[in-house]
Amino acid sequence: DTGVSQNPRHKITKRGQNVTFRCDPISEHNRLYWYRQTLGQGPEFLTYFQNEAQLEKSRLLSDRFSAERPKGSFSTLEIQRTEQGDSAMYLCASSLGTGYSPLHFGNGTRLTVT
């Protein structure tokens, strides 16, 4: 169990640029989740996948946000035309998805939009 891996750890971008983050879940986990966390707040659920199917995306913050998990393994989260308000920690989690299985989180990608 190598844990959930997220890259990059930090990303600084200028307003208006597009950014993409990658998440590699624990290998046998078929569920993958994206969260956003701003300073002083708990993580905010964005979307999740069951294998390659995106089963919940109504919580994505705007149509500038999109996520993919093309082969049911790693996932990417893209933010288009970034805004300063997008500055946050973006967290990925995975779980086995059978019965209740705990979420295993990565250490996140910190995005700073200047």
Partner 1 sequence: DAKTTQPNSMESNEEEPVHLPCNHSTISGTDYIHWYRQLPSQGPEYVIHGLTSNVNNRMASLAIAEDRKSSTLILHRATLRDAAVYYCIRPGGGADGLTFGKGTHLIIQP
One DSSP character per residue, 69-112 reads -TTSS-EEEEESS--GGG-EEEEEEEE--SSS---EE---EEEE
How many residues bind partner 1 (CB under 8 A)? The answer is 28
**Window contacting partner 1 (CB under 8 A); options: 10-18, 30-38, 64-72, 75-83:** 30-38
Give the shortest CB-17-to-partner 1 separation in angstroms: 25
Q: Does the footprint of partner 1 cover residue 33 (CB under 8 A)? A: yes
Chain mean position to CA 82: 15
In the range 48-67, which residues lie near partner 1 by CB under 8 A? Answer: 48, 50, 55-56, 59
Q: Which is nearer to partner 1, 14 or 39 (CB)?
A: 39
Phi/psi at 83 (nearest 5 deg)? -120, 160
